[in-house]
Amino acid sequence: MRILEVSEIAEQIKEMCIEANHFLSPDMEKAIHSAVQREKSPIGKQVLGQLCENMKIAGEDMIPICQDTGMTVVFVEAGQDVHFQGGSLEEAINEGVRRGYREGFLRKSVVADPLIRENTKDNTPAVVHYSIVPGDKVKITVAPKGFGSENMSRVFMLKPADGIEGVKNAILTAVQEAGPNACPPMVVGVGIGGTFEKCALLAKKALTREIGEHSEIDYVADMEKELLEKINKTGIGPGGLGGTTTALAVNINTYPTHIAGLPVAVNICCHVNRHAVRVL
């Protein structure tokens, strides 16, 4: 049994909130720089160049990559041989978010009640997803999610008879309806299967997969490549101003489902697909 103090979790979360909001992950940065070279539209190339310049300034001057520093989503994969001590794990996660957003001078965007709309003033609470895995390590992924793109996300409860073509059409429909509102070039996270809530979680988690890394399931990997090509032919382009780079990746996760259902979730993220990962 390994003992882990929750105060260590809070400190790591604080640092990750600041890191994710100021620096894109290496795969995202590489993808955007590569897109500048591939983009065929002059205005699209210009927009992508501005995004690269924005990343450079954000890193050098420690300014957030985007003014919407998001609602903090945290994935915790806890080894079953780890014992947390020193207080509540979830309270420690929220303390880390609180300190990260205050000490990092990040915009506080969370309201305590969805209808009364009073700001919590520290960006808490986070949205936390737990899973118990073998071993004595804890993997933490912090993914601040801006709501320009979050608002463009969709869940489709398809019929099994809709099949793979129905799934593809649903994904393309979500992207086309999002258009410029999702701040393209976007990363498209997709969840297929499970239940209403499970497919949405699959789609959210898919956004944290490294750009260029495809599903281990052959037909799913083929679908990712096909949909990326089709999305980039929509002409939406960088910033929604036209071009050949509407998306940088389509990442699809699947899960078993009921004989009567075919749930599909599309969770779209803008060009600042922020996430930081640490293993303790």
pLDDT confidence of residue 92: 98
Q: Give the full edge-to-edge strand order of the sheet including 154-158.
A: 154-158, 262-269, 186-194, 247-257
Nearest to 236 by CA among 252, 219, 224, 248: 248
Helix ranges restricted to H, the chain: 6-22, 26-38, 42-61, 89-103, 147-150, 163-178, 196-206, 218-231
Structure tokens at 26: 């290496």
Query: How far is 122 from 142, CA to CA, in rounded Å?
Result: 16
Pairing of strands 186-194, 262-269: antiparallel
- Positive or negative, the CA dihedral 41, 45, 47, 51 is positive
Q: How many H-runs (helices) and E-runs (strands) does the chain carry?
A: 8, 10
* Mean pLDDT over each residue of the chain, to the nearest integer: 97
pLDDT confidence of residue 74: 98
Pairing of strands 138-145, 71-79: antiparallel
Nearest to 97 by CA among 110, 83, 86, 82: 110
Kindly indicate the confidence band of residue 124, based on its pLDDT and cuts at 50, 70 and 90: very high
Pairing of strands 71-79, 127-133: parallel
Tens digit of each residue's pLDDT (9 = 90 or more) over 138-189: 999 999 999 999 999 999 999 999 999 999 999 999 999 999 999 999 999 9
pLDDT confidence of residue 250: 98
pLDDT confidence of residue 205: 98
Q: Where are the domains of the chain?
A: 2-20+65-145, 148-273
Query: How far is 212 from 105, CA to CA, in rounded Å?
Result: 32
Angle formed by the axes of helices 6-22 and 89-103, to 10°? 40
Q: With pLDDT > 90 as the criterion, what percentage of the chain qualifies?
A: 100
Tens digit of each residue's pLDDT (9 = 90 or more) over 206-225: 999 999 999 999 999 999 99
Q: What is the mean pLDDT of residues 104-129?
A: 98
In terms of Cβ atoms closer than 10 Å to its own Cβ (0-12, 13-18, 19+), residue 54 is middle
